[in-house]
Structure 1
């Protein structure tokens, strides 16, 4: 089968050899979808085209005919005809660009015309994919002003730099890293880089969300954002602020509880990156606990001033994430995985429980990542009890931290919601393991 042989069900082996469609209705469907895609893109370009002698190149009819031409070329099953058509459309677009005498001769319409031809060709392979591509192209063309404003004015230089770095990590580094553990089930370079990418992506998303809503609920948004890095550190920071401003204890305790929402969501991210089989056991308990912490914390924060009262603002607002911070967290996760795996090999099931408990005192996600990497979920297995124990121990660690950092009033305001959402998560894990 040639490179241009459609994989559409309307073609079979005999008719493909003859270069004819299996039935006329299938060919009509391909041409109809191609016409619709061309009209959709053409309508958007017609609105930008203008009128008079200085109107732009190509409009509604040109785009519609180009897309149908691509579909007809693909239906003939002639590779040379498809390539010749693409070359003619490209030459036409190049000539139109060369003859453009406007002050801002962008090449968007010319490139869009060539893509429209290829969408027509794609209609013979997959109608849904062709239609989705046409909708995406139309949306991209229609969002010109907003995209230009977003790129030129809204994004800061530091955010652009971080975005390029994150894209390079995900699109270039991650596919090249070997995907095999170096010792037992742990120290997988691909998993480590994937964890770094997840941490950076979550930090970037939280940063951009906070910028969009920076004028409202600064305490809640800052707590949610910093909770993805360390909920314990967030609770400690807000506790220190509570000592300085006792009147804001309820507000700051609510922010500390909201940071636990990030803990539960990041728990699912770690499970997805390290051992996806755990997601079937954790998604419901983690989301239920996150919802409870969100509602409880939001109720406590309600009525908070719009300014950054009690919120810890990062020193460099235009940076979306901390690469060294994310790398440090990933290194901590990997190191604790190695330690827990070593204890498990030394002491068996007892070592797994002991290692998970000790690791949870410092970092819940590192502890659970080690448990996830060590064994898949099993009903009544040691790993499930290790997860439940780690969640409980980490809640106790947060409570002690809150008491030392913010005093007893801060602890009393935070502890009910903290232990309620933890108990809900632990009970959910137990139920999922024994249902």
Structure 2
């Protein structure tokens, strides 16, 4: 027996022992007990390995059918007690993994351990799916899955417009990124709960929408004046999320452009954190209160609207760039930035990725969009909150924008 064969047989036996031990713990007792335990699983795993050693696919298929027939009969016998099919399915999987160990030992071992983990986490998984996860969150997960695994692969990975700027595959990649960031922010809020308070809720909600977060914080400051300082801290921290999100968008769209803007973004991030620390120090004596729960549903209509907005910005940028050169792209980015800084950043980075402009030339439009978005946030802070809230948030927003431009000057 060679060393490789001995290793494969040991892994096959180990898979049977591991999954069998987990099933043995849930085997039960008496007439209703499961018909398979640790010994049965180990023998079946070795049976699969032996079938593969004989190099007969027909034999392996026959063994699988035989084991399936045996457990089908056992299931019918116990059907009145609704025993489930987990053990039977796990046994067939163990048989196949034992066979796989002869051909791909590492893969078989990884799948065996993964199967044992899933089986052992039965209670937690049932609680998560049945109780912890809300119906709306399950719908969100399905929509996100469709966006990633159904729509994205179907979109053409080429430009389809006269200005050679609209790439549906690249646009949808940006949409998927934004949806994932929003979903992760929502998960973090759910896991940490109301213990976050307004400050950290502002940071996490900023990944969903910084402008919406500032508006919600302004409304909280009006409704509960004792929490105005904490709400201002949360509003400024949402800009931290904007900067981090912008960096991630650039990394995904065109890494060389991100490298050019790494220092400006780092300066903006440092300024946002420093100013948030100052406002947090002032809010130490604020009345405690639960954080806000931002709406972070994954709406396919919102995703389509966002993709249309990005497409419009790209077309406008392409047209103005063709007519006015780099000044046209700068103007289009500034206009688009009032609605969303990330869309304009993705548009300018896409121009650089397609070789239409250099990474250095893309920095101006990106920061112009970021600046316009800062103006939008200032307007929202003023209209949603009171004067005290606005005067606390304004300096932080402007400081971040100035820091970003200074960082560019230092490049």
Bin for the TM-score computed over the shorter chain: 0.7 to 0.9
User: Equivalent residue of 1:341, what SS?
Assistant: helix
Preserved contact between residue 39 and residue 61 of structure 1 (Cα < 8 Å): yes
User: Equivalent residue of 2:81, what SS?
Assistant: coil
Provide the residue aligned with 2:38 in structure 1.
60
User: 1:46 and 1:380, CA in 2 relative to 1: closer, same or farther beyond 3 A?
Assistant: closer
Provide the residue aligned with 2:181 in structure 1.
202
User: 1:202 and 1:380, CA in 2 relative to 1: closer, same or farther beyond 3 A?
Assistant: closer
In 1, Cα distance between equivalents of 2:132 and 2:173: 28
Cα shift at 1:100: 2.4
Is 2:127 the partner of 1:162?
A: no
User: 1:101 and 1:342, CA in 2 relative to 1: closer, same or farther beyond 3 A?
Assistant: same
Provide the residue aligned with 1:142 in structure 2.
120
Preserved contact between residue 49 and residue 58 of structure 1 (Cα < 8 Å): yes
User: Equivalent residue of 1:123, what SS?
Assistant: helix
User: Equivalent residue of 1:34, what SS?
Assistant: helix
- Scaled by the length of structure 1, the TM-score of the pair is 0.79
Cα shift at 1:365: 0.8
Provide the residue aligned with 2:48 in structure 1.
70
Which moved further from structure 2: 131-140 or 240-249? 240-249
Provide the residue aligned with 2:240 in structure 1.
261
Structure 2: gaps (5+ residues): none
CA-atom RMSD, angstroms? 3.4
Provide the residue aligned with 1:344 in structure 2.
321
Preserved contact between residue 371 and residue 383 of structure 1 (Cα < 8 Å): yes
Preserved contact between residue 43 and residue 60 of structure 1 (Cα < 8 Å): yes
Is 2:299 the partner of 1:355?
A: no
Deviation readout 1:211-269 (Å, 9 max, x if unpaired): 33333224245434542343123223423443554443321111112212332343245
Is 2:215 the partner of 1:236?
A: yes
Cα shift at 1:353: 2.5
- Scaled by the length of structure 2, the TM-score of the pair is 0.83
Q: 1:373 aligns with which of 340, 350, 372?
A: 350
In 1, Cα distance between equivalents of 2:227 and 2:287: 11
Cα shift at 1:96: 2.7
In 2, Cα distance between equivalents of 1:287 and 1:130: 44
Preserved contact between residue 257 and residue 360 of structure 2 (Cα < 8 Å): no
User: 1:313 and 1:268, CA in 2 relative to 1: closer, same or farther beyond 3 A?
Assistant: closer
Provide the residue aligned with 2:309 in structure 1.
332
User: Equivalent residue of 1:77, what SS?
Assistant: coil
Provide the residue aligned with 2:166 in structure 1.
187
User: Equivalent residue of 1:213, what SS?
Assistant: helix
User: Equivalent residue of 2:193, what SS?
Assistant: coil
User: 1:421 and 1:131, CA in 2 relative to 1: closer, same or farther beyond 3 A?
Assistant: farther
In 1, Cα distance between equivalents of 2:53 and 2:399: 63
In 2, Cα distance between equivalents of 1:352 and 1:61: 70
Cα shift at 1:416: 5.2
Is 2:70 the partner of 1:92?
A: yes
Preserved contact between residue 395 and residue 419 of structure 1 (Cα < 8 Å): yes
Structure 1: gaps (5+ residues): 1-22
Deviation readout 1:48-67 (Å, 9 max, x if unpaired): 11234432121112222222
Q: 1:110 aligns with which of 88, 95, 102?
A: 88
How many equivalent pairs are there?
Answer: 405
In 1, Cα distance between equivalents of 2:285 and 2:8: 57
User: 1:248 and 1:73, CA in 2 relative to 1: closer, same or farther beyond 3 A?
Assistant: same
User: 1:304 and 1:262, CA in 2 relative to 1: closer, same or farther beyond 3 A?
Assistant: farther
Is 2:191 the partner of 1:212?
A: yes
Which moved further from structure 2: 79-88 or 241-250? 241-250
In 1, Cα distance between equivalents of 2:285 and 2:88: 53
